[in-house]
Amino acid sequence: MSRQKQRAVECRSYDLSPTLPILVLSGEKWYISPVRNQVLHFHNCLEIGLCRTHSGMMEFGEETHAFHAGDLTCIGKNVPHTTYSSPGESSLWTYLFLDPVGMMETSGIQALADDQQLHNMIANSRMILNEEKARDLRLLFDQIVTELEEREPGYEWTVRGLCLSLMMKLLRIWTKVRDVRFMKTDHVSPLAPALDFIRSHYMENFHQEKLAEICHLSPTHFRRLFHEQLGTTPLTYLHRTRILESCSLLRSGRFTVSEVALMVGYATMSNYNFHFREIVGMPPTIWLKQSDGEMNMKVMSMSGWMEAETSEKLIAAVRETTGQSPESPLQMSMQEQSLCPPEEVSDPPADA
């Protein structure tokens, strides 16, 4: 029996502010097409979405689950997925992309930032919460969106408080529905161990072979897969992680530039300045003075979407890849049950 071809996966990264690591995407640009994307994607941060209208499907690997208007979704940063609307419909969504751990660290809540269950939820969650069960979550979600869009004085601290409440309520649900089936890695990117290792050890010196080893991949396959999914090399990703962390440390005002360079893994200022300029576009001293240190990163080839992909673009991509028109969602064999049916918060999918 021939092996089934593995579905393509790519990483879509969002550059979040080191001081308030959250991004809201909303409005008329976020009508989701009914065309099924052939490529799964995952992010470098937690995705929380709210379906405003209509219905459709979310795919996690080979599993498909329904969503409806009013549902709230929480998708871990290591979980490949894709979303498409029901035939003839275009569901409207609002999204929050955030780094809860970074949010808590900058708020001085280190004990919670170190919580292992929170880290598991941020990395691996796949929750679709129906309108009834998500009522309280929706209120918090909409308040966060309003604060981020209106930016009234003191909105940053209001957003931090609302995000803390939202994370705690999501964590309660996660700990109730999570069981041993969530510990399987079928629907987690094979690069997840390497990405987690880089986030925890970015300030250290290590070989790429170490990353390949913890992913149980050969070095050659690891480098190829890394470039396919993240659009860059492991070394470039490491430098990017270091520079983003250094921005947060610089903004804190507690360390000099030379101290920060050493803290994030650069032995010399020349090396640090070179990579900072490559990624941010200017030296760290100038960055601190201009625009109050607001992020102005160069756009990566695999950066996160700032608007939903159109049906025309998705159809063209499928035809270019396969030479055929995309299959209708009605023709696919799918499990058409939600993770959280209207009556109850259910367990995660049986094969998760």
Q: What is the secondary structure of 222-264 as a DSSP string?
A: HHHHHHHHHSS-HHHHHHHHHHHHHHHHHHHTSS-HHHHHHHT
Rounded to an integer, what distance in angstroms lies between the CA atom of residue 48 and that of residue 186?
21
Going by C-alpha positions, the residue among 303, 304, 306, 327 that lies closest to residue 315 is: 327
Give helix 269-280 / helix 234-252 axis angle, nearest 10°. Answer: 100
In angstroms, the CA 116 to CA 58 distance is 27
Backbone torsions φ then ψ of 300, nearest 5 degrees: -80, 160
More confident site: 106 or 316: 106
For residues 303, 308, 312, 317, the Cα torsion angle rounded to the nearest 10 degrees is: 30
According to the model, what pLDDT value does residue 144 have? 97
Residue 125 backbone dihedrals phi, psi, to 5 degrees: -65, 145
Mean pLDDT of 254-267: 92
Domains of the chain from N-terminus onward: 9-186+307-331 (2.60.120.280), 192-293 (1.10.10.60)
What share of the chain has pLDDT > 90, as a percent? Answer: 36
Q: Residue 319 pLDDT > 70, yes or no?
A: no
Confidence at residue 339, expressed as pLDDT on a 0 to 100 scale? 34
Q: Is the pLDDT of residue 177 over 50?
A: yes
Confidence of residue 316 (pLDDT cuts 50, 70, 90): low
Round the average pLDDT of the chain to a whole number and report it: 79
* Backbone CA torsion sign across 328, 333, 339, 344: positive
Say if residue 52's pLDDT is above 50.
Answer: yes
117 by Cβ neighbours in 10 Å (0-12 / 13-18 / 19+) ranks as exposed
108-128 pLDDT, tens digit each: 888 777 787 888 888 888 899
Selected residue with higher pLDDT from 178 and 128: 128
pLDDT band at residue 330, thresholds of 50, 70 and 90?
very low
Residue, of 4 and 27, whose pLDDT is higher:
27
Average pLDDT score over residue span 165-183: 74
How many other C-beta atoms can be found within 10 angstroms of the C-beta atom of residue 5? 6
On the question of pLDDT at 137 being above 70, the answer is: yes
Question: Is 50 exceeded by the pLDDT of residue 293?
Answer: no
Under the banding of pLDDT at 50, 70 and 90, the label for residue 280 is confident
Q: What is the pLDDT of residue 305?
A: 62
Largest CA distance in the chain: 63
pLDDT of 149 over the 90 cut: yes
Q: Which of 53-67, 289-303, 326-340 has the lowest mean pLDDT?
A: 326-340
| C-beta separation of 124 from 79 below 8 A | yes
E strand segments, the chain? 9-12, 22-25, 31-32, 40-43, 46-51, 55-60, 63-68, 72-75, 82-85, 91-98, 126-129
Output the pLDDT for position 288. Answer: 79
Highest mean pLDDT among 23-27, 228-232, 298-302: 23-27
More confident: 54 or 196: 54
The predicted-structure confidence for 16-47, as pLDDT tens digits, reads as follows 887 899 999 999 889 999 998 888 888 888 99
Residue 141: pLDDT band with limits 50, 70, 90: very high
> Which of the pair, 138 or 232, is modelled with greater confidence?
138
